[in-house]
Structure 1
C-alpha cells in the first residue's frame, strides 16, 4: 500500500508538472490584472519607440501591450512554425519583400488600412499580394548617392560626370594602372544593379511584379544596362570590384579614406560614414547615359499581424495606430527612417535632412520590389548576372539569358501545380 501511494504521488507530481509546462508554453491571453494582452515584436533598437507610443493604445483599448525583442528577419522566419504552435507575437514589423510570401502562405492576417489615401499606390502595393492587403506601411527606403563634400563641390547629376571623375588622378588605384575608384557601386549585387537595368527598360517580373511567367532581366533594356556596367568593370574599376563577397567592404572603406568621390549605397550606410567623420552629402542617383533615371528597388517595412493571433481586432487596431501620421512621424524622429504615411513624410521632408530628402526624391523613380513568392527565384537566379558578364565569361546577352533560364526552371519546378 505504501508503495502504491508513493507511485501515485509521483504520478500526480508528473501530471502537475506537465500541466504547468503546457500552460507556460501556450500563448498568453491575459495579463495579471485580467486585461487582454497584445504582444508586439520589434528589434531592440525600436523598443524605446514602442514604449513611448503604447500607453495611449493601452488606455484607449483597455489592453496591455507586451514587447518582444527579436531581430525582424528571425521573427519572420520563425512565424510559420511559431504561429501554429501558439508562440508567435500578435503583431510585428516586416520588410515589404517578405510580406507577400508570408501572406500568400497564410501566415499573415488579411488587413487593409481603413483610409488608404494616407499612403500612395506604391506603398500599398508593397503590402498587397493577389489583391489582398496584409499590413500597413510604416517606412520607405531605397538606394541613394553619397558624395564626399571635401572632394566635390556639389553632387554629380549625370553618369557622364561620374565617368569624367575617373580621369582625376586623386582617385587613381595605385595597384592597377589605369583603374579608378572615383565612383563605386556594388553592381555584382542584383539589388544594387537593378536600378541600372530598370533605368534602361529592364524589369524583374512583368505586369508590375505580378506575372512570374514574364521575367524581364534579359530584354533589350536589361542587356543594355549590363553592357554599361561592363564598361565600368573593364575600363575603370579595380578587379576586386568583381568580388561580390568583399566589394561592399572595399567600397565603404575606400569612401571613408577619401579615395572615392561618390558611391551608391543604402540609407543604412549613413551611420557608418557619420561614425567615420566623413564630410559627406547625400543626393539622388545621377541620370543614366540614356537620359533616364536610375530606378532602384523601392523597399522599407510595415506592420503586419500574425494570422494565428487570438486578438485579430486588437491586432488590426495596432497596425492602424502604429502607422498613423502622428506615430509614423514619431518613428521618424526616433530612427530617421522615412515615413510611408504621406503627411508624415511631407513633415519629415521639411526638416532639411539630406538623407531624408534624397530618399524621398529617389523613391519617386524606384520600383516596388515584387512581393510574390516567385521573386525568391529571381534573387537566386540573378546572383551571377553581372559577374559573368563583367569577368568576361559571357556576353551581356548570354549572361542575362542564362539567368532567366535558371529562374524560369526553378519557378516551374517549385511553383507549378
Structure 2
C-alpha cells in the first residue's frame, strides 16, 4: 500500500517535471529556433547563425574597397561556403538607390552606407536591424560609432570605419598647428600675402560640414536630444551667434568669397606651398602626401572661449538589405568583414580608420602619425544627425554663411533666417 502511494506520487512528480521542461523550451521539445534571423538568442542560449542553403551575396561599396572586399569574400567563402560578389556603388549613393532597388528585388544583399542616411533607410523600411550580433557590435566598437548607428533606440548597421576633420599642415611652412586661434591669427600676420594667394589656413567657409566645428565648440547644436528632435533647432542660440560672430572675424585672415574656396582650390594652394594649414579629412591623406613632402596633421586650435572645436563625424557601416533572400548569410558577412581583423586589414590596405576599439588602439594604427591624430579628433566630434530633417540643414547654412562672410550680415539675423528656412522646409517636406 505504501509502495503504491509513493509510486503514484513519483509518477505525478515525473509528469510535472516533463511539463515544466516542455514549457521552458517553448513547448517544442528543442532549443533550436525555426527562424534564427528573426529571433536571435543571446547569452548562454546563443545558437549558431548559419547561412541559408545556396546563399550567394552581392555587396555594394566604393571602387577603392574592391580589393579589400574580394579578399574578405575569399576568407568568408572558405569559412561558410558562400560566394560574395562585389559591385561598385559608393556609400554616399547606396541608401537612396536601395530605396528603389530593395523592394524591386535587385538591390545588393549588403551595402556600405554612412550613418546620417539611416533615417532615410529606416523610414523606407529597407534596412534590417543589427539584432543577432548587437551585443558584440556594441561591445567592440567606439561608443560614438554605436550612438551614430542607433536610431529610435534600435541599432542599424555594422560599423566599419570612422571619419572626421582635422588640420593638415606643411611642416616646411609651420612647425605645428597652433594651440589656439590666437596663434593662428598671429601666424597669418607674418605669412599671409593675399595678392600672391598665400594664406595661413583655409576651410570651406560656406560648407556646413566645416562651419559646425566652430558653432559646436561654442555649445550650439543642429537638433536637440542628441540630434533626434527636429522641433528643436539650436542654430540661432546665443552660443551659435557667438560662434558665427567669431567666424565672421576670421575673414581678415582669409579674405576670399565663399564661392572661391572649395576642396580643389585648397588642395592646389596647399600642394604648391601657398597654404600652410588645410582643414580636411582622412580621405585627402593619400593625395596630400603625394603633393606635400613634409605633411603633418594636428588637432583643431582651441576657440577664444578656451574650448576645443567639435567637428562633425561620419561613421561608415555595412547595412543588410531588408529584402535580401539571404538575411542570415548577409548578417554573417556584415559582421565578419567588420571584425577587428578585417578593420585592421582595411586600414592597412586603404587607410580606413577603425571603429573597432581594439583595432584603433593597436600599435599598427597608433604608430601612424596621421591616423592617430584623426582618431583622437574623432573622440571629440559630433556624429551628424541621422534624422531625415538633416537634409534641410545644408543649403540654408550655405546661404547663411554666404551672407555672414561675404556681405558682413549680422550673424543673429542670418542665423534666424537659417532656422526659419529650415523649419519651413521641414514642415513642407522639401
TM bin, normalised by shorter chain, reads 0.7 to 0.9
Q: Deviations over 1:134-188 (max 9, x none)?
A: 11111011001011100112332211110101211x4211269xxx611212121
**C-alpha spacing 1:104/1:129, structure 2 compared with 1 (3 Å):** farther
User: 1:205 deviation in Å?
Assistant: 0.7
Indicate yes or no: 2:402 matched with 1:387: yes
Does the Cα contact within 8 Å between 2:248 and 2:408 map onto a contact in 1? no
- By how many angstroms is 1:319 displaced? 1.5
130, 141, 148: which one aligns with 1:126:
148
For 1:83, which of 86, 102, 124 is the aligned residue?
102
> Quick one: distance in 1 between partners of 2:390 and 2:365?
36
| Alignment partners' CA distance in 2, 1:259 and 1:127 | 39
> Which of 333, 348, 352 does residue 348 from structure 2 map onto?
333
Which structure has the larger Rg over C-alpha atoms? 2
Q: How far apart, in 2, do the equivalents of 1:285 and 1:42 lie? A: 30
3-state SS in 2 of match to 1:35 = coil
Contact preservation (8 Å) 2:202, 2:278: yes
Deviations 1:69-94 (A, max 9, x none): 23333333211111111110100110
What is residue 102 of structure 1 aligned with on the other side?
121
Deviates further, 301-310 or 128-137? 128-137
Q: Tell me, what secondary structure is at the counterpart of 1:98?
A: helix
2:68 matched residue in structure 1: 49
| 1:182 aligns to 2:200 (yes or no) | yes
1:226 — aligned with what? Answer: 244
**Residues 159 and 289, structure 1, Cα contact 8 Å, conserved in 2:** yes
1:167 corresponds to which residue? 189
The answer for the alignment partner of 2:339 in structure 1 is 324
SS in 2 for 1:183: strand
- Indicate conservation of the 8 Å contact 1:329/1:348, yes or no: no
8 A Cα contact 2:359 2:365, kept in partner: no
1-structure distance, mates of 2:119, 2:334 = 17
TM-score under structure 1 normalisation? 0.86
CA distance in 1 between counterparts of 2:221 and 2:115 reads: 18
Q: What is the match of residue 386 of structure 2?
A: 371
CA contact (8 A) 2:312 2:383 kept: yes
Residues 66, 354 of structure 1: alpha-carbon distance in 2 compared, 3 angstrom cutoff: same
Q: TM-score, normalised by structure 2?
A: 0.83
- After superposition, the C-alpha distances for 1:95-128 in whole angstroms (9 at most, x for unaligned) are 1211232123211112243311111321112212
Partners of 1:349 and 1:367 in 2: CA distance: 26
Structure 2 Cα separation of the partners of residues 398 and 348 of structure 1 = 49
| Secondary structure in 2 matching 1:162 | helix
Cα distance in 2 for residues equivalent to 1:236 and 1:36: 59
Are residue 64 (structure 1) and residue 83 (structure 2) matched?
Answer: yes
- Deviating beyond 6 angstroms after TM superposition, the runs of 4 or more aligned structure 1 residues are none
Residue 38 (structure 2) aligns with: none
Q: For residue 236 of structure 1, report the CA deviation from its aligned partner.
A: 2.1
For the Cα contact (< 8 Å) 2:396–2:418, is it kept in 1? yes
1:192 corresponds, among 197, 210, 213, to: 210
The answer to whether the Cα contact below 8 Å between 2:144 and 2:379 also exists between their aligned partners in 1 is no
For 1:393 and 1:230, locate their aligned partners in 2 and report how far apart those are by CA, in whole Å. 7
Aligned to 2:168: 146
Select the residue among 362, 371, 375 that pairs with 1:360: 375
Q: Matches of residues 218-367 of structure 1 in structure 2 within 5 Å?
A: 218-233=236-251, 235-240=252-257, 242-243=258-259, 246-347=261-362, 350-367=365-382
Contact 1:186 1:248 in 2 (8 A): yes
Distance 2:217 2:189 in 1: 25
Which ranges in structure 1 are unaligned for 5 or more consecutive residues? 1-33
The aligned length equals: 375
Shift of 1:349: 6.2
- DSSP 3-state at the match of 1:356: helix
Q: Give the corresponding residue for 2:27.
A: none
Listed one character per residue, the Cα deviations across residues 17-37 of structure 1 (whole Å, up to 9, x for unaligned) are xxxxxxxxxxxxxxxxx8321
Match of 1:35 among 50, 54, 71: 54
Q: Is the 8 A contact 2:144 2:383 kept in 1?
A: yes
